[in-house]
Chain A
């Protein structure tokens, strides 16, 4: 081989390295008569709840608007990869979809990047907007006072538990823990009396991403006191909080005492799918700190129909740390439809939102997607109220719920929390050390906007 060849190869290696940063795009020809919708498809191929719903709305839309077409762009990925993908798509007008389905925690961050278009002019002429609850309206409102999306539901979080396993362990089937200690005690009892089952699942680590941070960590953290993550009075992020360390200690306890799943399973990005379609339905898991939407998989239309779930599973609220007032805690989020700033069919995209949010479609989605209603007319609909046995329980948690500090840096802070959780889950760091690392990243991410409460 001639000596020049290695140089060429070295250059080729460079291109590979550079290419992995610039690659990734999903080009599709833009046409003024086609509205393109990007949404997340479950990593479980059997789960097509959203696909089926959008397919039906697509037919409605194309029938009502002759000559217009809807192109569905399903992105099959776990949550983190989905966000990365749509952000890359929205960067360029060549790839930007006309409608994206986004988690509300991302919205301010994406608005700040200039990815989304305000929709106030459309909302002003839209009668249905009055039906939305005030909190839902603020979910998509940015710091500039403009609204950037229409929410199609919300969610709350609590504890699901398997009554059969509780019976075997001699625990009450109308279980209502009053503190973290009572949750851990129940898990310890189950570990002892019903070997072979996973006593307690709490989402953790970098793999599950925002699911771990919200369903896992923040369900603990917001039960430790007021403003444990972001101090609204001073508009600063909280470093050195005792609640933060305590929450990490809880996670650490679960995994070091082997009360949770195997660490490698817990850190798997697809653990959520596994909980929903395997561990709970097959009686492998006793207690699961999870969301209101779990039931959508178990409906006859879901990915894992499980008619017995309403008799096997109980639901109870997540308690605060030591039972301090108000005694219960929940977190809420929800997803919205937004129009990317670089979409060339914004008017048509808005028409699609209107079609998605006719009352009939809104009710249909709220039921099929196991959402908590954000519209008064949907919330009062008899079909919604009897759609699944858990609906009233999770709707009742709305009064205890917290929203994440939806600021532009939140997604980065969420990643830092995920890392701290992972460190205490694997045992790589003690809770104090992991909290210290989090404080350091907080300073890198938020700069001066940090207040020390240590």
Chain B
């Protein structure tokens, strides 16, 4: 490598300054607020309270409920939903005819490029009591449900699957495209069935893409807010209140900025745990 001169760091400075100001700055400020009792209204002073916010969170059954729902939401919509469905679509689309491929691709990607709030409204209209889904069920003479009321966490998970599958599909399409044709052909000549080829050749060869995709999906899903807020506001009761919604509720509805920020930090902690796990997966597979 060419040795950088004395002022070799100079070109990096603007980037570092920008990072400090816009990335490290807000994060540092959030860490500070998480240890205070800052409020939006009802108190003018802000005092340092140590770990009180965190103790409060762990003692709060509503917080624990939110952690649980966040995990349910992430597992259903990201791990199972987006990831598997994306892989399935990508595999099927490789065999489909060109028009089918274009059409499916267009639909799935359209769901992905829609702004979150628009997607949320569409799915709200789909799931609501007088919505499209119940309309279809009625037409088929099947019993209808008040989905957003009786199964809110399932409804928002489905919404997230609907919205996020395109991303997985794109990643897997790219990964599948990179599998050398001759390996597949060789397996075919050896008489391996489609399922066996998929299990013993395709999956091992796209392992790294799976890990990357899982990680991106999980992180994205953990921070989903607008979708849930617009569809159910975390309700009814707390039955779809995931951590981001809980955090917003504490910080802005209850005016407890300090507590809300502490919850945000805990959410960050959960995200980093997931990241670490996936990073290790990535490493061992190289």
Contact = CB atoms under 8 A, between A and B. Distances in A.
Interface of A: 1, 3, 6-7, 9-11, 13-22, 80, 83-84, 87-88, 91, 106, 109-110, 112-115, 205-207, 262-264, 267, 269, 408-409, 411-412, 415, 422-423, 425-426, 428, 444
A438 to B, nearest CB: 13
A6 B278 contact: yes
Interface stretch (B41-49, B132-140, B194-202): B41-49
A110 B41 contact: yes
Interface string B263-286: 010011001100100110011000
Contacts of B39: 113
28 contacts: A1-B212, A3-B279, A6-B215, A10-B272, A13-B271, A16-B223, A17-B244, A17-B267, A17-B268, A19-B26, A21-B30, A21-B251, A21-B257, A21-B261, A22-B30, A109-B255, A112-B42, A112-B43, A113-B41, A113-B42, A206-B235, A262-B149, A267-B235, A408-B41, A408-B42, A426-B236, A428-B236, A428-B237
Given A207-B233, A262-B129, A415-B254, A21 B264 contact: yes
Contact of B146 (A112, A264, A411): A264
Given A6-B275, A206-B233, A426-B236, 13 more contacts: A3-B282, A7-B275, A9-B215, A14-B268, A17-B223, A20-B244, A21-B247, A109-B42, A112-B44, A113-B42, A206-B253, A262-B149, A264-B148
Given A15-B26, A22-B26, A87 B212 contact: no
Contact of B23 (A15, A17, A409, A428): A15
Interface of B: 22-23, 26-27, 29-30, 39-44, 56, 128-129, 146, 148-149, 212, 215-216, 219-220, 222-223, 225, 233, 235-237, 239, 244, 247-248, 251-257, 260-261, 264, 267-268, 271-272, 275, 278-279, 282-283
Contacts of B279: 3, 6-7
A434 to B, nearest CB: 10
The main secondary structure of chain A at its interface with chain B is helix
B129 A9 contact: no
A17 B268 CA distance: 8
Contact of B40 (A9, A88, A114): A88
A428 B41 CA distance: 30
Contacts of A16: 223
Interface majority SS (helix, strand, loop, mixed), chain B = helix
Contact of A113 (B43, B215, B220): B43
Nearest to A86: B41
B227 to A, nearest CB: 13
Identify which of A6, A16, A84, A428 gathers the most chain B CB atoms within 10 Å of its CB. Answer: A6
B42 A409 contact: yes
Contacts of A262: 129, 146, 149
A409 B257 CA distance: 15
Contacts of A115: 41
B222 A408 contact: no
A399 to B, nearest CB: 32
Contact of B264 (A10, A17, A426, A428): A17
A409 B43 CA distance: 9
A18 B264 contact: yes
B45 to A, nearest CB: 9
Nearest to B286: A3
Contacts of B216: 9
Nearest to A11: B23
Contacts of B248: 20
Which of B149, B252, B275, B283 has its CB near the most chain A CB atoms (within 10 A)?
Answer: B252
Contacts of B235: 205-207, 267, 422
A411 B42 contact: yes
A68 B56 CA distance: 50
Which among A88, A106, A412 has the greatest number of chain B C-beta atoms within 10 A? A412
A375 to B, nearest CB: 28
A10 B219 contact: yes
A241 B272 CA distance: 45
B276 to A, nearest CB: 9
A303 B47 CA distance: 47
B18 to A, nearest CB: 12
Contacts of A13: 219-220, 222-223, 268, 271
A114 B39 CA distance: 12
Contacts of B275: 6-7, 10
A206 B43 CA distance: 23
A21 B272 contact: no
B255 A412 contact: yes
A220 to B, nearest CB: 20
